[in-house]
Amino acid sequence: MLQPSRKRSKTRKVARPDARWFTPAVLGLSLVTAIGSAGLAASLTWPAIPSPFGLAAHHEKRANLALDTNKSTPLTLERAGLENELTLAAAPATATAWLRAAYIRQQQQSGVLDAESLRYIETSYRVSPLGPGASPWRVLFVFENWNLVTPAIRAAAMTEVRSFAAHDNNAHALVNTITNPAGRMAARLAIRTPPKAPAP
């Protein structure tokens, strides 16, 4: 079971993304905006990410179905969270499940990315730093929450978006849909600046 954290980060409103980017013809991701119970704009809606195989796939599919709604409710988030925990129990190296855990917790916290949510994001990068299946949505999720994530997550996201841009011609269009000004600027800088060579 996921262990709770005692720390919480400050809240902020997450801007509404441009939904025109997220059509099945482009990415196969369906993203909309959800509103938190405290009136804060919550983060992006969970997309249709390919599931792992075996028992984990069964639970991840059920978690995705629970989140497949235009507005999450406490009940759907609870169901998704339980299925996601079962996914991680069966396949602890599933990056999308760790990312989903962060998303679910943020929704439950009305838009807050607390220490536990941040730990889940860091774990998703640790098990799959450049995971192609999660990259488009993870890039959006992190850069839209740029002011709330840790330096370690920022560094991982910069590396990921740079790699994504090197292999996908749609990366620049994706970055342009980021509505957080600081996050959009950081992402644009990442894909325009080559990585530094390691010191000899």
**75: phi then psi, degrees, rounded to nearest 5:** -70, -45
pLDDT at 6: 46
Mean pLDDT value across residues 46-56: 60
DSSP state of 35: E
Helix, strand, or coil (residue 183): helix
Q: For the segment 61-89, what is each residue's pLDDT rounded down to a tens digit? A: 888 888 887 678 999 999 999 999 999 99
**160: phi then psi, degrees, rounded to nearest 5:** -65, -45
**Is the CA virtual torsion 139, 109, 45, 90 positive or negative?**
positive
Element (H, E) at 44: strand 41-44
CA distance 29 to 181: 23
**Is the CA virtual torsion 162, 163, 164, 169 positive or negative?**
positive
Q: For the segment 82-117, what is each residue's pLDDT rounded down to a tens digit? A: 999 999 999 899 898 999 999 999 999 989 999 999
- What percentage of the chain carries pLDDT values higher than 70? 69
pLDDT at 46: 56
Where is mean pLDDT largest: 1-5, 32-36, 124-128? 124-128
pLDDT at 108: 92
Q: Hey, what domains does the chain have and what are their CATH numbers?
A: 19-191 (1.25.40)
Average pLDDT, the chain: 76
- Please choose, from the candidates 196, 195, 175, the residue with its C-alpha nearest in 3D space to the C-alpha of residue 187: 175
pTM of the model: 0.69
Whether 25 shows a pLDDT value over 70: the answer reads no
CA distance 100 to 34: 15
